[in-house]
Structure 1
């Protein structure tokens, strides 16, 4: 009888622990949103974003694989709560934003710390320690780009390893698959994750093939653009040209925009003639998005539906697109749009400096998350957008 009581007590304690973790997360989110969005000073907002981002470089919040808010502790125990693959691009956004912030503030100490932290990041160390490209997927490529952008002692090693990874992802068409098991399917995520790294590898290694790869990866995706539009489908099946998923998914358009902007940055920095082609794409996409901007300055998770919920991660990437469109064209309306995006992001930032209303991890083509919460990637990219706008103050 005593044994049964002991077992029952343990089970009750475990059940209580599971319920407490679920309740703690729920209450924590509600408490964090109390007095949300009361930021007026954009520079004070930058400091708050940066403080949170720096703290997350030491212990980054995991983005859940599933939307459910129940049995979180059980999901953690059995290793099903978070997907390791997503952590690479989450960390990348965080470090890219902080690197831009350190440059803006001319903070050499922070720059040195960020470079050191990147070199010691578990995903970077394991990438260099295990020279087996087939072990890694596209998800980590933006983190390698962040390492190359920051420079540092391990940049050359990372460039070499990244080149091998890019080669391992090539298909018969000469471009990269998002997943090796799906060589005939292309995802828009790959534009944002892989193209910046391919360009950075070209610049660092002197291998011009990677310039061609980055540009071809973008141009190949023209088959998946909405007819008479610049909006990309979430994916497409190459053999028959079938589009897959939504055309107006906010983060999908954001991935496409990020790839265009970072590729343009690299091409123009190194005097490449392809920069003009990227500039035309940037302007066309920005032009099409302008009338879809919400009254608060942001974009919905489905940008073409006015009633869709505001979404931060796609919004911040479209803000970077608007800023780049202004720098390409000099047209003030694009800069106005970028500052309005910043204002919208300020409006969904918690008192603690945590950017909120980011859509959760996508489960697959057509399986979009219905969770809106924090996201380290968006936190860093919002910081990057804001500090880049510092140089444009007074022009809007």
Structure 2
């Protein structure tokens, strides 16, 4: 009897030390990585390092946790409430977009890691997904891979499967829902996930109806979930009640809209009859977003709340908006704003090249993460932003010469 009691006590103590040990390890790891954060002085060195991290993460993408708990993390792991595969798909999409852009703009730096990554996702023999993404989150990954491959035909079957996934998420109003268990709710996230891919697919496979669907997704959101005075979206809206849901001014929510809008514009042919609509929307959104940029170039996770924590995800996506607004208009105010975004991102980059202080995963409408950490999606999109920014600057210098 005494042996049984002793054994139980030993097991309980062991479990206790495992639980506490994991918490302590994660805490001190976070503290350690933030020592000497933001001490980058040369943008070239910084870009090389953040891209190096992006390339490494293609081999094994870090987990973005879905819990805000910083205590008893072991219990979340046991209950499978620590991570989600759907979150990982858009993280990977950001990595591919970033590392592919860097590789294409730097001769002799072909990134075999992207090829390996795509081979792990797409069957080389059939061109189909090895595992079709279960949700629309995965569409942005399909878009990123399609933008990277030199011959789209190699993955054409997977792209058709991705369109089928989108079609399966079409609601009664003709727009795409985020999850099938809430078919009457439209989330701003979905604009970023699907609109660039729909446009790419429509252009490359001569299917204009999918370009129309991307426009419809944006127009309905603009009509039902935007403030009248400024182009800032609500988190979601209900198609039955035509009512916005969640808060206005969630930073990454605006970022999702920016991503869908800008990349869709870039995918459209120059002579497309509705490209001017997107052009005007980009400029209007850029003008309205400028007022929320802080003196150090960053943006807060909640735009309307002064002093709210810096969020690297909206900061990099706002930079993408400003840079593209400059390319459209030639207004140097936008280029300066993009440069300030980049400077602020340098200040929150760890000494190992990992961009920090990205708001964690959202739990639901109005329920936003309280943790700020790394995010592969932001890492990759920052690489894309900086590479594209440098290309624009180079063109400007050549014009001056």
| Shorter-normalised TM range | over 0.9
Q: Which SS does the other structure have where 1:245 is aligned?
A: strand
| Whole-Å separation in 2 of the counterparts to 1:29 and 1:123 | 37
Going from structure 1 to structure 2, the CA distance change for 1:130 and 1:341 (only over 3 Å counts) comes to closer
Runs of 4+ in 1 over 6 A off after TM superposition: 122-127
| Displacement after TM superposition at 1:239 (Å) | 2.2
Count of equivalent residues = 391
| Whole-Å separation in 1 of the counterparts to 2:289 and 2:110 | 39
Q: Does 1:231 align with 2:229?
A: no
Tell me which residue corresponds to 2:12: 11
Q: Deviations over 1:300-320 (max 9, x none)?
A: 111122211111011111110
Tell me which residue corresponds to 1:27: 28
| Displacement after TM superposition at 1:121 (Å) | 3.4
Q: Which SS does the other structure have where 1:244 is aligned?
A: strand
Q: Which SS does the other structure have where 2:354 is aligned?
A: coil
Q: Which SS does the other structure have where 2:248 is aligned?
A: coil
| Displacement after TM superposition at 1:168 (Å) | 0.7
| Whole-Å separation in 2 of the counterparts to 1:356 and 1:235 | 27
Q: Deviations over 1:210-261 (max 9, x none)?
A: 1111111111112211012211111111222211111111000000000000
Tell me which residue corresponds to 1:361: 361
Q: Does 1:196 align with 2:169?
A: no
Tell me which residue corresponds to 2:172: 172
| Whole-Å separation in 2 of the counterparts to 1:95 and 1:130 | 18
Conserved 8 A contact 1:159-1:205: no
Conserved 8 A contact 2:59-2:113: no
Task: Give TM-score scaled by structure 2 length.
Answer: 0.93
Mapping 1:114-193, distance limit 5 Å: 114-121=114-121, 128-129=129-130, 136-151=134-149, 154-193=154-193
Conserved 8 A contact 2:203-2:268: no
| Displacement after TM superposition at 1:383 (Å) | 0.9
Conserved 8 A contact 1:294-1:306: no
Conserved 8 A contact 2:143-2:197: yes
Conserved 8 A contact 2:55-2:113: no
Going from structure 1 to structure 2, the CA distance change for 1:31 and 1:129 (only over 3 Å counts) comes to closer
Q: Does 1:281 align with 2:307?
A: no
Q: Which SS does the other structure have where 1:377 is aligned?
A: helix
Conserved 8 A contact 1:119-1:154: no
Task: Give TM-score scaled by structure 1 length.
Answer: 0.94
Mapping 1:340-355, distance limit 5 Å: 340-355=340-355
Q: Does 1:384 align with 2:378?
A: no
Q: Which SS does the other structure have where 1:362 is aligned?
A: coil
| Whole-Å separation in 2 of the counterparts to 1:128 and 1:255 | 25
| Whole-Å separation in 1 of the counterparts to 2:131 and 2:295 | 49
| Whole-Å separation in 2 of the counterparts to 1:115 and 1:229 | 42
Going from structure 1 to structure 2, the CA distance change for 1:107 and 1:69 (only over 3 Å counts) comes to farther
Tell me which residue corresponds to 2:212: 212
Q: Which SS does the other structure have where 2:234 is aligned?
A: coil
Going from structure 1 to structure 2, the CA distance change for 1:308 and 1:268 (only over 3 Å counts) comes to farther
Q: Deviations over 1:87-128 (max 9, x none)?
A: 110110111111111112124531x43133123138999972
Tell me which residue corresponds to 1:308: 308
Q: Provide the alpha-carbon RMSD of the alignment.
A: 2.0
Tell me which residue corresponds to 1:73: 74
| Whole-Å separation in 1 of the counterparts to 2:77 and 2:128 | 24
Q: Does 1:264 align with 2:265?
A: yes
| Whole-Å separation in 1 of the counterparts to 2:311 and 2:361 | 13
Query: Which structure 1 segments of 5+ residues have no match?
Result: none
Going from structure 1 to structure 2, the CA distance change for 1:115 and 1:275 (only over 3 Å counts) comes to farther
Q: Deviations over 1:265-313 (max 9, x none)?
A: 10146x4222211111000010011121101101111112221111101
| Displacement after TM superposition at 1:166 (Å) | 1.4
Conserved 8 A contact 2:140-2:197: yes
